[in-house]
Structure 1
Amino acid sequence: MPQRTWSSTVVEHHRLRADLAVVRLVGDVVPFRPGQYVDISVPQNARLLRRLSPALPPSGDGKLEFHVKTVPGGWVSGSIVRDTMPGDTWQILDPRGEMSVDPGGPPVIMIAGGTGLAPMRSIILDLARTPNPPQVYLFFGGRTRRDLYAADMLWLLADDLPWLQPVPVVEDVSDDGPPDEWFDRLGVDIGFGDDHLIEGTLPDVVTSYGAFDRHQVLVCGSAAMVRSTRDRLIATGTPAESIQFDPY
């Protein structure tokens, strides 16, 4: 079966960090499910595809949002972060992936490293449309507090959604990371104070709570982070069949 393609036009490009941007588009209605990912083609490198997860649930008006982080040697991700302009046309290819949440099921454990937060946000906003969402515990993390690029948004979201509990995790709370003119220019308060931050790696922190044997468990982030987290969860007693994962 030939692969389907949809077109979408960039309407906003927000540089949040030297290596990270949020891109918003409007165009064709792409029939994806919250938690899925798509391959995209951008005009800066049209022949190379980049896999991204929408950070918003599907909408009838064709709105899309992607969180893009530069990866070492990543020609497409780097050009998206640096060079994307309003008016650029992106090609969106067939949605894939099975990560999802049963809104009538047991409590949810979400574990997101870096921009692996994007599909989790899509699922959370979709759950907010349902009458009785399950309790959601969202562990999201990075190496330093500066890596918590969407912490301010999650702080506000949790204030509106009593069933959502974000848990910010940083590997070193005393390390602010290298200077970043984009972060400094924004001057954003991440919302979470020192008393909210948990120090450690995501696998260490998440598994310190024991086995999640009566939960829906979702993991998304780098391939290494997903592999380590899944292995540690299983070793701690979380059933392998309860874990959905997506290397991002």
Structure 2
Amino acid sequence: MSSDPRRQPERSAQQAYWFADVVEHHRLRHDLAVVRLIGEYVPFTAGQSVEVEVPQFPGMRRRFSPALPPSLDGKLEFHIRTVAGGWCSGGIVADTRPGDRWKLTAPQGMFSVDPDGDEVVMIAGGTGLAPLRSQILELARHQYPPTTYLFFGGVSPRDLYAADMLVLLAADLPWLTVVPVVERLEDPHWPDQWHDRHRVDIGFDEDDLIQGTLAEVVGSYGKFDRHQILVCGSPAMTRSTVERLLDTGTPPERIQFEGA
């Protein structure tokens, strides 16, 4: 039997862990990287998270949400942002290299969308985008996905790290509308070499940006009582957005939320 785990997908559903190898590491901001891997099929569902162990920190596990839905060819993508005091996440952003082997365990979570259900409102702050993007790509596999609105927010335009991907995705999926939200319209004055290095022409126009917090902007639309609602971001953003939704009269049973 081959020792290459990528040639053993039939075992995966019975395994307690799976392996995948880093094939791309794109550091997009000083504190953020997109990591792509190929390995064994991991039996999670779109919107779930998995525990990850990386070679730089053996024995230490951190939970991240794949930004792609599960695929039999073993492709995985993670959006990793450093957190204050989080030397593990900082190490992943700065030190990940192609060829690193990651160990993945324990798919978990109930973040889900009914593809035959009501319209969908997704609210993503920062890398909270990852599980929602996974859900969008999963919906795209269906013939008639529900109309979906994605509110994607950050402090400044520079925080909208996936602008190019989202613009292209919305152009390709007629049922998807992306609403970019920023708390201020100007980027900070200090330079970010990674942002400057990877600057692309495709992205949101300044006129597309809505200024405010995600809670303020989403709340301005009134109650969502006939929608499936998913909220994912920092604990503070998630808490304030859910509270604002409830204040508008949105039924709590309509809201799913997770901190990223």
Which residue of 162, 182, 193 corresponds with 1:150? 162
Identity %: 65
Matches within 5 A, 1:136-175: 136-175=148-187
Unaligned runs of 5+ in 2: 1-13
Matched with 1:241 is 253
Q: Does 2:51 align with 1:36?
A: no
Aligned to 1:82, the other structure's residue is in SS state helix
Among residues 133, 158, 174, which one is paired with 2:145 in the alignment?
133
Pairing partner for 2:81 from 53, 58, 69:
69
Compared with structure 1, are the counterparts of its residues 30 and 177 closer, same or farther at alpha carbon in structure 2 (3 Å cutoff)? farther
Task: Indicate the RMSD between aligned Cα atoms, in angstroms.
Answer: 1.3
Alpha-carbon deviations, 1:116-149, whole Å to 9, x = none?
0001110101111100000000000100100000
Query: d(CA) in 2 for partners of 1:68 and 1:109?
Result: 23
Does the 8 A contact of 1:170 with 1:197 survive in 2?
yes
Give TM-score scaled by structure 2 length: 0.93
- Give 1:75 deviation, angstroms: 1.4
TM-score after normalising by structure 1: 0.97
- Structure 1 portions without partners, runs of 5+: none
Shift of the alpha carbon at 1:235? 1.1
Establish whether residue 107 from structure 1 lines up as the match of residue 116 from structure 2. Answer: no
- Matching residue's letter, 1:157: L
Deviations 1:125-176 (A, max 9, x none): 1111100000000000100100000011000110010000000000000234
Amino acid at match of 2:76: L
CA contact (8 A) 1:42 1:89 kept: yes
Q: Match for 1:202 among 200, 214, 225?
A: 214
Aligned to 2:208, the other structure's residue is in SS state: coil
Tell me the CA shift for residue 223 of structure 1.
Answer: 1.0
> Residue 214 of structure 1 aligns with which residue?
226
Question: Which amino acid in structure 2 is aligned with residue 165 of structure 1?
Answer: T
Which residue of structure 2 lines up, in the alignment, with residue 178 of structure 1? 190
- Counting matched residue pairs gives 247
Decide whether aligned partners of structure 1 residues 195 and 110 sit closer, same or farther in structure 2, where only a CA change above 3 A counts: same
Offset at 1:22?
A: 0.4
Task: Name which of 179, 183, 187 aligns with 2:199.
Answer: 187
Q: Which residue of 1 aligns with 2:96?
A: 84
Distance 1:185 1:221, change over 3 A: same
Separation of aligned partners in 1, 2:224 and 2:130: 23
